[in-house]
Chains A and B, each alone.
Chain A
Amino acid sequence: MPIQGEYQGMMLTIDDLDGENRDFFRHCAEGSFHLQRGTKSGLLRYPPTTACPWTSERESEWVPVEGKGEVHSYVEVHHAIQPAFKDKVPYLVLLVDLDTQKGAPTEHEALRVAGNLMTADGEFAPPEMIKSVGIGTRVKMIFVQVADGFALPHWVIDGDATQPETPWRYPQE
């Protein structure tokens, strides 16, 4: 049976055969972010893949990874393309550099994990919160349930972290 759930007006489906995505989203549903680690390379990768992008090695194991990091870049959507997001604008898609494995194996690489900016209770962030977030903002991961065994990772502002004085924002508000 495929895992299916309606989320924001969209039907999201993980096929039976798609073991990698089933494992990825099941860990999220259990409230713990996991990534595959190449058993020989020791390197984590995102999103799920069948082999290690650095060594082509196919053996891997799922390991827990801390869901904390810094906004590397973002999209602030004001005109929604998908019908499901029309009543969510403006909304932010964040591309977050995880602290884990940042700058490895080479200087410009990082585990850049996508997600929306949410409030702590899993609602889309209101406009005033969006205006406080930019490149450099410290964020931590939360999970929003889609179905049994299926949750999506998202981001919230990390209230415990030291935040940059003025995160970089696109100059026109």
Chain B
Amino acid sequence: MVASGASDVDTSTSKHLRGKYAICGIGETSYRRGSDQTTRSLATWAIKNAMDDAGMNAGDVDGMLSYSGNDSTFSTFVAGDLGIRLNFYMDVHGGGSSTECLIGIAIGVIEAGLCKTVAIYRAMNGFSAVRIGGTGARSAAPVTGDQIHHRAYGWQSAGQMFAPSFLRHMYDYGTTPEQVAHVKAAHSNHASNNPKAYYKTRLTPEDVVNSRVICKPLHLLDCCVETDNATCIIVTGIDRARDCPNPPAVIQAIAGRTCKPRADMHYQHGPISTVAGYYAKDILWPNAGVGPEDIDVTGAYDAFTFTAMLQLEDYGFCKKGEGGDYVSSGIINLGGARPNNTSGGHLCEGYTHGMSMVIENTRQLRGEVDDFCPIGPDGKRQHTYDYAEGGCRQVKGAELTANLGWANPGTGSAMVMAKDR
């Protein structure tokens, strides 16, 4: 059921903070392999870039949140580097689906009076140090206790762990590898218009299914890229955000790390071809007061082609089981009705555990996507809306975006943002 009206939601209570907080600053390093920097250095660069974007100096930021998997630098070090005196910070364990969730936490702690403005960052050497694909140090770590039930079977990396959901979706609904390969094709087209993207080459669905098999149903080109980078998002109250140089991306609703039953081993509770978005959608859409049909741009997490497809389906962008048709229909392409991951996402731009997809949608709502379009005399890009290779990636009239964050089939987060009034 899509909740397209807000009549059943009491927006006067503090439970619903729709429209009261916004993203006012975004910052990135480059997306590359071989950063030659520590995560402390990467984080510091990304946060400073976000502060500059928000027109803020060290005295304007008093909260910090980060997430990592023992592969990053804690808030206290980067805050110290930047001369930020913190009234609040927290560094949490987590990967994908943390971005939207931490934005929700930022809103909560600001609302509770702990601080006024929070910089959220994720800094990682996902290629050079702790590899996101799971090779190197992660696969060599000792196998203990609860991990024996999967790691002893050579069932450990993200692709290996998620594959039973992907295959079962093919079995349950007749989804084909070629259909899902369209996700990579679409994102590669988007990346070809993104000067920052690590992979900018346009690919076809045939290229994907002809690439070598990693673990069925995943070919090499169904899998995301490993890169070194840091990213930062600054969240503050709507009034403060309106004083910043760039238009606020106004936060409408968040679902944070919503889980399927049995989060300890989610496969115990099926259908295993259904993911956490099935539950998160019932938090996201009523609180946002809009439904999937209202959304102009999606940011469905693409650790793999299949993760984007499964989430778009379970959040209700198409009927259950029709995700394969949806992603191969052209809808998710720039120029289509509802483009997904216009930056090229994790499959092509770089891997950030979700941050870059929120950054991209913030730019979409600003109308300031950093593509190859010329910059006019007013310093703003003159978007051509020509999505040919090496051209534009701004979506015309983008007013509402949805980010769908993925941790695993059993856990996800989501966020709806709107252009300011």
Contact = CB atoms under 8 A, between A and B. Distances in A.
Interface string A35-61: 000000000011101000100000000
DSSP class of B's interface residues: helix, strand, loop or mixed? mixed
Contacts, number: 142
A153 to B, nearest CB: 9
Contact of B167 (A12, A108, A135): A135
Interface stretch (A62-70, A111-119, A157-165): A111-119
Interface string A68-106: 000011111111111111001001010100000000001
A21 B134 contact: no
Nearest to A78: B213
A12 to B, nearest CB: 5
A14 B216 contact: no
Contacts of A148: none
A166 interface: no
A73 B154 contact: no
B142 A93 contact: no
Interface stretch (B88-96, B268-276, B351-359): B268-276
B154 A74 contact: no
A6 B151 CA distance: 13
A10 B144 contact: no
Which of A25, A81, A83, A88 is most buried by chain B, counting CB atoms within 10 A of its CB? A81
B359 to A, nearest CB: 29
Nearest to A18: B145
A115 B148 CA distance: 11
B316 interface: no
Chain A: interface residue count, which band?
A: 35 or more
Chain B: interface residue count, which band?
A: 35 or more
B157 to A, nearest CB: 4
Contacts of A72: 164, 168, 267, 272
A47 B34 CA distance: 40
A80 B153 CA distance: 11
B163 interface: yes
Interface stretch (B170-178, B242-250, B330-338): B170-178
A4 to B, nearest CB: 9
Interface string B137-165: 00110111110111111111100100111
Contacts of B82: none
B145 A14 contact: yes
B268 A81 contact: no
A78 B214 CA distance: 5
B268 A110 contact: yes
A11 interface: yes
Nearest to B133: A81
A21 B155 contact: no
Contacts of B272: 72-73, 95, 112
B215 A73 contact: no
A82 B135 CA distance: 7
A79 B215 contact: yes
Contact of B142 (A11, A18, A95, A111): A11
Nearest to A103: B270
A108 B272 CA distance: 8
**Which 10 pairs show the lowest CB-CB distances between chains A and B?**
A108-B270, A73-B164, A85-B154, A75-B163, A81-B157, A76-B216, A73-B168, A170-B216, A77-B215, A82-B139
Given A13-B143, A95-B272, 12 more contacts: A7-B152, A8-B152, A12-B148, A15-B145, A21-B145, A47-B146, A47-B149, A53-B261, A75-B163, A81-B154, A82-B156, A110-B268
Interface of B: 133-135, 139-140, 142-146, 148-157, 160, 163-165, 167-168, 170-171, 176-177, 209, 212-217, 261-262, 264-265, 267-272
28 contacts: A7-B152, A10-B143, A13-B143, A13-B144, A14-B145, A15-B144, A15-B145, A47-B264, A53-B268, A75-B155, A75-B164, A75-B216, A81-B154, A82-B151, A82-B154, A82-B156, A83-B139, A93-B160, A95-B272, A108-B270, A110-B268, A112-B265, A112-B268, A135-B167, A152-B148, A170-B217, A172-B209, A172-B216
Interface of A: 7-8, 10-15, 18, 21, 25, 45-47, 49, 53, 72-85, 88, 91, 93, 95, 106, 108-112, 114-116, 135, 152, 168, 170-172
